[in-house]
Amino acid sequence: MDDLFEDICMEYLIFDDVTSNILLMYPYRLINEKILRDNICNMKKIIREYIKEVEQYSRCISVIPKLIWDSQKTSMQNEADEHQRKADEIAEQMNDGISPYAWYVKKNFDEYIDSIHYKADYLVYLDRI
């Protein structure tokens, strides 16, 4: 991702309720591509749901080593698997029609790109599969 694109577009996704700050990054050369623009509209509708499922999965996985009983561990692993399954389904929707690219998410983005400082709770970036 660091040197993926020479010229990139950076835009913040705006939501009615400001619960998290999400930054979108994709190659500048694709800015006017209808397929990408349509996909961004679709992805924007479900990206927070995807992030929620990934966060829930991570939370479940981090709890498992702290549990004592095998039955608790199995139950938590099953819950984690369900969140992963949901995240995978949402990812398929997010990436529908944009192969050979896919959207990826990075948490806590805080970097300079072309001497401009960008900070966001999440970076959603387009990359080749």
pLDDT tens sequence across 19-74: 789 999 999 999 999 999 999 999 999 999 999 999 999 999 999 999 999 999 99
CA distances from 90 to 11, 14, 28, 57, 73 (A): 22, 20, 25, 14, 26
pTM of structure: 0.87
Under DSSP, is residue 52 helix (H, G, I), strand (E, B) or coil?
helix
Q: What does R_g of the chain's alpha carbons equal in angstroms?
A: 17
